[in-house]
């Protein structure tokens, strides 16, 4: 079986590329942003439902231990994103910029490099977590009550599920990089919807009654299904795609490795820092008991709904920004960023108000436990305050990654977790035990939002001067 474009002539390849890249070059900005972002947002929201499904159906059991297991495993699942971003974001940025330069060989080889490296890293991640499971469970904050349930959940999601979970996201990013946001979203959503269907069958007493382990099994099978979709898609479109995963196209060419890693490693570090922050947050919360941990987990899953919309907008425009930056159309690039920023901030502010006002009803939807609901209301309202500022941070980091400014993205990641959020967790937890934890992110995101606006302004001015200089020459 062979995947990738059939390159039978430069003229044919050129025609296909022109057709494919019309969305980057000629489609009006509002329509281009909608075509790229809406499928990405929809798939992101379905992924949220996919995560919420585990929480919802496990919550039906009214067992804090099972809920805590899903919450405690969260940092490990989030760590997948370190590999996802290394090869997904790194390759996507590299591929889009290569398309803007009409460097098609780099596009093919970059996609092959990303696919095989992601598969290898996923396998190593799975092996490491499996061998070090006892130590890992302790690190995550599991105690004698929650250890077994957490381990059962992680056997499916990590030991068995790391490779398909990672390849699912990486292939979606690479398909999105060539402008096929719709197909990328279909692949992601196919797995997510299957998970929602399988969750009650595996989790609830009327089905297999597996509890948290059933949620893990459903997640594993759904990621496998998504990978199968992408393999079929690439085979069916092998003569009309720039995503190539033929083994013969894999290489360790210096320019490709450096280009992918220059964006991917900072993005990967960013996610590892997120894991660190979540682990610290869960450890602080676990001191207050399983009810508090379960409430924090439910709140974080709810919070993911508006957060993933912002992330979808940021990821959706990355190919548009990368392509126009590489092709020298900086006016179009700037217009796309400004338009997307305006839409994102408007939506996220409205969503924040909704979740703040309706906090009790939203939390109650997931579990009927008075203590957990009481905790969850306070947590959710605290998290909501930082959402409008998080929006600007996400947009700025997405732009940095699209332009290949990996160092800028890394600086923001370090500022968010190391400099601002983690110290705020310690300080606010001392000042306001437990409930202060929910306000740490607001402190971090407020500062970063100001920095994001300033940095984007400087980038626009710098690129504008460069364009004026080029015209003078």
Q: Match 């402190």 to its residue by tokens.
A: 443
Helix axes 212-236, 29-60, angle to 10 degrees: 150
Task: Pick the closest to residue 421 from 381, 393, 399 (CA basis).
Answer: 393
pLDDT in the model for residue 221: 93
DSSP string spanning 161-180?
A: THHHHHHHHHHHHHHHHTT-
pLDDT in the model for residue 138: 85
**Contact at 8 Å (CB) between 320 and 32?**
yes
**Contact at 8 Å (CB) between 66 and 149?**
yes
Asked if residue 428 belongs to a domain, the reply is yes
In this structure, what DSSP letter does residue 61 have?
A: T
Asked if residue 1 belongs to a domain, the reply is no
Give me the average pLDDT of each 10-residue run along the chain (473 residues): 41 46 80 84 75 76 80 78 81 84 86 91 90 86 82 88 89 85 83 87 85 88 92 85 84 85 81 76 81 84 82 84 83 87 87 88 84 88 87 87 83 85 86 82 87 86 65 47
**Which residues does 389 contact at the CB level (< 8 Å), separation at least 6?**
442, 445, 446, 448, 449
Tell me which residue range forms the domain holding 83: 28-467
Asked if residue 124 belongs to a domain, the reply is yes
Query: What distance in Å separates the CA atoms of residue 453 and residue 57, rounded to the nearest whole number?
Result: 40
For residue 388, the number of C-alpha atoms closer than 13 Å in the C-beta half-sphere is 14
Instruction: Name the domain count of the chain.
Output: 1
pTM value surpassing 0.85: no
Asked if residue 158 belongs to a domain, the reply is yes
Residue pLDDT, tens place only, 262-312: 888 887 787 777 777 777 887 888 888 878 888 888 888 788 788 888 888
Query: What distance in Å separates the CA atoms of residue 43 and residue 308, rounded to the nearest whole number?
Result: 9
pLDDT in the model for residue 229: 92
Asked if residue 248 belongs to a domain, the reply is yes
Ramachandran class of 434: left when φ > 0, alpha when ψ lies in -120 to 50, beta otherwise: left
pLDDT in the model for residue 120: 92
Asked if residue 461 belongs to a domain, the reply is yes
**Contact at 8 Å (CB) between 304 and 449?**
no
Q: Which residues of 42-65 are buried (b: 16+ CB within 10 A; e: fewer)?
A: bbbbbbbbbbbbbbbbbbbbebbb
Asked if residue 23 belongs to a domain, the reply is no
pLDDT in the model for residue 473: 46
Asked if residue 226 belongs to a domain, the reply is yes
Mind spelling out the 3-state secondary structure of the chain?
A: CCCCCCCCCHHHHHHHHHHHCHHHHCCCHHHHHHHHHHHHHHHHHHHHHHHHHHHHHHHHCCCHHHHHHHHHCHHHHHHHHHHHHHHHHHHHHHHHHHHHCCCHHHHHHHHHHHHHHHHHHHHHHHHHHHHCHHHHHHHHCCCCCCHHHHHHHHHHHHHHCHHHHHHHHHHHHHHHHCCCHHHHHHHHHHHHHHHHHHHHHHHCCCCCCCCHHHHHHHHHHHHHHHHHHHHHHHHHCCCCCCCCCCHHHCCCCHHHHHHHHHHHHHHHHHHHHHHHHHHHHHHHHHCCCHHHHHHHHHHHHHHHHHHHHHHHHHHHHHHHHHHHHHHCCHHHHHHHHHHHHHHHHHHHHHHHHHHHHCHHHHHHHHCCCHHHHHHHHHHHHHHHCCHHHHHHHHHHHHHHHHHCCHHHHHHHHHHHHHHHHHHHHHHHHHHCCCHHHHHHHHHHHHHHHHHHHHHHHHHHHHHHHHHHHHHHC
């Amino acid at each position: 079986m062979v995947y990738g474009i059939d390159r039978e002539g430069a003229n044919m390849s050129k025609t296909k590329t022109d057709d494919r890249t019309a969305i980057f070059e000629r489609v009006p900005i509002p329509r281009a942003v909608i075509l790229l972002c809406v499928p990405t947002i929809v798939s992101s929201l379905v992924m949220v439902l996919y995560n919420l499904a585990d929480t919802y159906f496990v919550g039906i059991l009214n067992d804090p231990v099972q809920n805590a297991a899903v919450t405690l495993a969260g940092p490990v699942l989030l760590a997948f994103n370190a590999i996802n971003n290394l090869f997904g974001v790194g390759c996507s940025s590299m591929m889009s910029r290569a398309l803007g330069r009409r460097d098609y060989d780099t596009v093919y080889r970059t996609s092959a490099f990303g696919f095989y490296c992601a598969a290898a890293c996923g396998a190593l991640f799975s092996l490491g977590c499996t061998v070090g499971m006892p130590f890992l469970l302790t690190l995550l904050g599991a105690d004698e009550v929650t250890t077994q349930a957490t381990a059962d959940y992680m056997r499916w999601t990590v030991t068995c599920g790391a490779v398909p979970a990672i390849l699912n996201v990486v292939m979606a990013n690479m398909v999105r990089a060539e402008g096929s946001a719709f197909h990328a979203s279909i692949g992601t959503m196919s797995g997510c919807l299957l998970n929602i269907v399988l969750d009650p069958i595996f989790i609830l007493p009327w089905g297999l009654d597996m509890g948290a382990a059933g949620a893990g099994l459903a997640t594993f099978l759904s990621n496998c299904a998504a990978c199968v979709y992408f393999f079929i898609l690439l085979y069916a479109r092998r003569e009309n795609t720039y995503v190539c995963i033929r083994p013969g196209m894999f290489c360790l060419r210096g320019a490709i490795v450096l280009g992918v890693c220059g964006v991917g490693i900072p993005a990967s570090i960013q996610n590892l820092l997120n894991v660190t922050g979540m682990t610290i947050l869960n450890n602080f919360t676990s001191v207050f008991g399983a009810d508090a941990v379960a409430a924090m987990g439910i709140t974080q899953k709810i919070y993911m709904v508006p957060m993933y919309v912002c992330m979808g907008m940021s990821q959706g425009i990355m190919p548009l920004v990368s392509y126009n930056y590489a092709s020298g159309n900086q006016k179009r690039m700037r217009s796309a960023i400004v338009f997307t920023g305006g839409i994102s901030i408007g939506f996220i502010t409205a969503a924040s108000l909704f979740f703040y006002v309706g906090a009790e009803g939203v939390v109650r939807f997931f579990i009927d436990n008075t203590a957990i609901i009481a905790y969850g209301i306070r947590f959710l309202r605290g998290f909501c305050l930082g959402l409008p500022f998080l929006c600007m941070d996400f947009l700025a980091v997405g732009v940095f990654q699209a332009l290949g400014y990996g160092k800028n993205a890394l600086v923001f990641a370090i500022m968010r977790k190391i400099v601002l959020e983690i110290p705020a967790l310690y300080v606010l937890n001392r000042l306001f035990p437990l409930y202060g934890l929910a306000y740490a992110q607001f402190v971090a995101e407020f500062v970063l939002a100001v920095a994001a606006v300033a940095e984007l302004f400087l980038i626009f001015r710098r690129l504008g001067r460069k364009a004026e200089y080029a015209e003078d020459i």
